[in-house]
Chains A and B, each alone.
Chain A
Amino acid sequence: GENVEQHPSTLSVQEGDSAVIKCTYSDSASNYFPWYKQELGKRPQLIIDIRSNVGEKKDQRIAVTLNKTAKHFSLHITETQPEDSAVYFCAAMGQAGTALIFGKGTTLSVSS
């Protein structure tokens, strides 16, 4: 089945810096890769996603890149702000395209 590895597990940056979180996946048949943000005590919320026919996607300060040959994808946050502090999860569509398999999460701390 699908396996998703996520790094780093924790990331601390200064306000205004950029943050990058990287994930790798194992199932070459996966073709959908969403990113979720989870604030303390809240539910995970979808922030951006990418499909395998696209190499990069941007939405204001966040962007996701995908290298399907290498089976890895990354989340980029520019001009970080304190409200970006949260746990971020990457995921890949596994179970023959029926279920999202998540990475273990990255705790991002943005200090002002």
Chain B
Amino acid sequence: NAGVTQTPKFRVLKTGQSMTLLCAQDMNHEYMYWYRQDPGMGLRLIHYSVGEGTTAKGEVPDGYNVSRLKKQNFLLGLESAAPSQTSVYFCASRRPGQGRNQPQHFGDGTRLSIL
């Protein structure tokens, strides 16, 4: 089991460029999440999905779009990158429910720099 895999690991973009971050999980988890991590700001929820074909906004959704066409994949898109989107992006997944039997698994993160 690979767990949660994020692609790419690093990327540098110019302002205005677009790109897609890919998250793949092999644990058959229903729920998937995208967070961004900035110094002193913790992990902030961007968008999430509770099942294939569904998405929902989190705490900081502006400037991002997501899609969950397949259960195992959750894509995060930046249509027109801005320097304020420079961050480390983490994907996570888990089974429905709350508690020890449904831990949230994180990927290794994508470090994105926008010049």
**A residues within 8 Å of B by Cβ?**
1, 6, 9, 31-32, 34, 42-46, 49, 51, 89, 93, 95, 97-105
> How many A-B contacts are there with CB distance less than 8 Å?
61
For A89, the chain B residues whose CB sits under 8 A away are 42-43
Complex contact B104–A95 (CB within 8 A): no
Q: Which residue of B lies closest to A2 (CB)?
A: B59
- Whether A44 contacts B90 in the complex (CB less than 8 A), given A32-B98, A32-B99, A95-B56, comes out as yes
B42 adjacent to A98 (CB under 8 Å)? no
Q: Which of A6, A42, A95 contacts B58 (CB 8 A)?
A: A95
A27 to B42, CA, bound (A): 19
Does B50 touch A at the CB level, under 8 Å?
yes
16 pairs from A and B in contact (CB 8 Å cutoff):
A6-B42, A9-B40, A34-B103, A43-B90, A43-B106, A49-B99, A51-B99, A95-B45, A97-B98, A98-B48, A99-B33, A100-B33, A100-B104, A102-B44, A104-B40, A105-B42
